[in-house]
Amino acid sequence: MKKLNRRFFLKGGMAGTALLADTGLAKKASAADTFGGYPDSMGVLVDFTKCVGCRSCEAACNKEQGLPAPDKPFDYMSVFDERHKGQKRRTTEKAYTVVNRYNIKDREQGPVFRKFQCNHCNEPACLTSCFVNAYTKTKEGAVIYDPTVCVGCRTCMIACPFYVPAYSYSNPINPVIKKCIMCYDTRLKFGRPPACVEACPQEVMTFGKRKDLIKLGHNRIQKNPEKYIDHLYGEKEVGGTAWMYMSDVPFEELGFNTHLGEQPIISYVKEFLTIVPMVLTIWPALFTGFYLLANRKEAFKNEKPSGNE
């Protein structure tokens, strides 16, 4: 009986380990060093000093993405005073980009307007947290999303450090994540800038290769050191983002989170992912050992009579 038990256990244990090792290996592969982005990926540099808050980008986005008509027309400036639970407007299932107004004390030119949309991270938290692999970081730099596989767990919304993805809660049949895809299907894929960039009358946004934009941004800061804050937000934040920002007021005053650090979000999860293969490989032997140890008295008992024979 005893031997039968052990043999059965080994069989079961091996099959189990093999099955699980599969998933463990995949995790290990993703636990490689920081990715840092595709070499020739595109990006957008946003200069808040130029933005006048006309909301043309919002209207262009709405049209390009075929989104439902907004609650208030795009030329209504009263939306800047809207507050939801004390928060300014954010991206929703009906708006992939929004502009918010920030009243800055003692700023001669008046308030600062901040455009907000998906930042298209180099190593997106949404992508790494998705258990059906719905997200893709394209070589052009966009973070796109496949709604046909989305289960609706909304972990990506938990993971996104910028609070970007929205969800169509109101749809009972086919609710999906809604977010900016940098106009990938209609424009970026063909080398054209996103609709919002093109629509801007103030040329707030510059579309180009991300690595060139970084140089451009730093040059601009160098030429006007007294004007700009010496920081390109998005150059290094959470592993770098395709959209980067320059401002003449400190970024935290524009509602930016300046405590995100330079590590991509996945690096915080790796500490857990590392233990997965260890548990899978060590536990079977360890606990079988405990079993043998705990039952040693019975093993002796069984052996004695046969030894006397």
Partner 1 sequence: MNQLVKQGFSPVVSHRKKDGSAWTVKEKIFLGLTPGDYFSEQFRNPFNWILAVIYAVGLPIIIGRFIYGLGWVTHSSYDYPWGLFLGFGLFTMVPLSASGFMMGTTVELFGRSDFKPIERLGLLNGLLGYLFAVVFLQVDLGQPWRLIYPMFVSLGPAAVLFLVAWHVATYLSCQIAELVPAFAEWMGLPRAKKFIKSIVLGLTIAGIILSTLHQGALGGLFTYAPGKIHPLWYSSPFQWFHFLCSAIFAGLSMLIVVSTLCKWFMRWRCDENFLNSLDRLTLGIAKGAALALITYLAIKLIAVAHDNEWQYIFTGWGQWFLLEITIGVIVPLILFTMAIRNDSADLARLGAFIAVLGIVLNRLNTALIAFNWNLYQDIPHWREVVICITVYSTYIVVYRAILARMPILYTWKE
CB 259 within 8 A of CB 107: no
Helices 266-294 and 2-30, interaxial angle, to 10°?
Answer: 170
Residue from 62, 100, 122, 128 touching partner 1 (CB under 8 A): that is 128
Site string for partner 1, 34-73 (x = CB under 8 A): ----------------------------------------
At its nearest, how many Å lie between partner 1 and the CB of residue 117?
A: 14
Q: Does 132 bind partner 1 (CB under 8 A)?
A: yes
Q: Which is nearer to partner 1, 167 or 184 (CB)?
A: 167
Residue from 9, 76, 190, 300 touching partner 1 (CB under 8 A): that is 9
At its nearest, how many Å lie between partner 1 and the CB of residue 150?
A: 7
In the chain, where does DSSP find H-type helix? Answer: 2-30, 56-64, 125-129, 155-159, 195-199, 210-223, 266-294, 296-308
Using alpha carbons, select from 206, 232, 279, 252 the residue that is nearest to residue 50: 206
At its nearest, how many Å lie between partner 1 and the CB of residue 290?
A: 6
47: β partners:
246
Q: Does 131 bind partner 1 (CB under 8 A)?
A: yes
User: In the range 262-291, which residues lie near partner 1 by CB under 8 A?
Assistant: 265, 268-269, 271-273, 275-276, 279-280, 283-284, 287-288, 290-291
Q: Does 77 bind partner 1 (CB under 8 A)?
A: no
Number of residues written out for the chain: 309
Q: In Å, how far from its chain's centre is CA 108?
A: 36
Q: Does 182 bind partner 1 (CB under 8 A)?
A: no
Q: How many residues bind partner 1 (CB under 8 A)?
A: 77
Q: Which is nearer to partner 1, 77 or 279 (CB)?
A: 279
- Given the DSSP bridges, would you call strands 42-47 and 243-246 parallel, antiparallel or unpaired? parallel
Residue 154 buriedness (CB in 10 A; 0-12 / 13-18 / 19+): middle
Q: Which is nearer to partner 1, 228 or 233 (CB)?
A: 233
Four-CA torsion 260, 221, 252, 145, nearest 10 degrees: -50
Q: Does 95 bind partner 1 (CB under 8 A)?
A: no
Q: Alpha-carbon distance 59 to 63, whole Å?
A: 6
CB 184 within 8 A of CB 142: yes
User: In the range 226-265, which residues lie near partner 1 by CB under 8 A?
Assistant: 257, 259-261, 265
Q: Does 152 bind partner 1 (CB under 8 A)?
A: yes
Q: Which is nearer to partner 1, 186 or 288 (CB)?
A: 288
| Residues contacting residue 221 through CB under 8 Å, at least 6 positions apart | 228, 230, 232, 246
At its nearest, how many Å lie between partner 1 and the CB of residue 138?
A: 17
At its nearest, how many Å lie between partner 1 and the CB of residue 122?
A: 16
Residue from 8, 76, 190, 300 touching partner 1 (CB under 8 A): that is 8
3-state secondary structure of 47: strand
User: In the range 155-174, which residues lie near partner 1 by CB under 8 A?
Assistant: 155, 157-159, 161, 163, 165-167, 169-174
Instruction: Please give the full DSSP string across 100-114, using - where no structure is assigned.
Output: EEE--TT-TT--EEE
Q: Does 153 bind partner 1 (CB under 8 A)?
A: yes
At its nearest, how many Å lie between partner 1 and the CB of residue 262?
A: 12
